[in-house]
Amino acid sequence: MKIVLITGSPHKKGTSALLAEEFIRGAEEAGHTVARFDAAFQEVGNCRACNYCRNHDGECIQKDGMEQLLPILMEAELVVFAMPLYYFGMPAQIKSVIDRFYAKNSKLLGSGKKAALLATCADTAPWALDVLTAHYQTICRYLQWEDAGMVLAPGVGVRKDIEETDYPEKAWEFGKSL
């Protein structure tokens, strides 16, 4: 299976980065091909709502990191979003990438892709990840993508915290199980 994993954290060794690494390790051990796109380390402009893409066969007027991601995204059978919770939502870095899906909306909508979510947060409140998971599920619903699953890791503010849990193993198992 062709998988694209899109990260949204500016921390190369952060909590969600560890989940991403372990997911990739498991998926590759299972024989899948994984391409990783680290949104926080790419130049990705916000969607300008100019509709240039509507008049140019899905080509965006902006020439940035999305030119690297979009071909991989279009070929992927599974799209994995890995991110920390930022103020009870997704980080702006990954939100900008998702907003830019608009250029390829007609090809992404109903494309039969699957999606997955790997998310971390320092908060331990049982409801802390509710808005993020609801947003992810809404994106899946709109695009008609099948939710392949989630690994949610609350209570892990820094790398040391998550290393002392079974969340990395759960991410590895999830990748391996595909």
pLDDT of 118 reads 98
pLDDT of 141 reads 98
pLDDT of 138 reads 98
Query: pTM higher than 0.75 for the full model?
Result: yes
Run of H or E residues at 36: strand 33-38
% residues pLDDT > 70 (the chain): 100
pLDDT of 161 reads 97
**Arithmetic mean of pLDDT, 77-82:** 98
134 φ, ψ (degrees, to nearest 5): -65, -40
CB 171 within 8 A of CB 119: no
User: Sign of torsion, CA 87 95 174 41?
Assistant: negative
pLDDT of 65 reads 97
**Arithmetic mean of pLDDT, 110-134:** 97
pLDDT of 31 reads 98
Instruction: Tell me the pLDDT band of 66, cut-offs 50, 70 and 90.
Output: very high
Burial of 35 (C-beta count, 10 Å sphere; 0-12/13-18/19+): middle
pLDDT of 81 reads 98
% residues pLDDT > 90 (the chain): 100
18 φ, ψ (degrees, to nearest 5): -65, -40
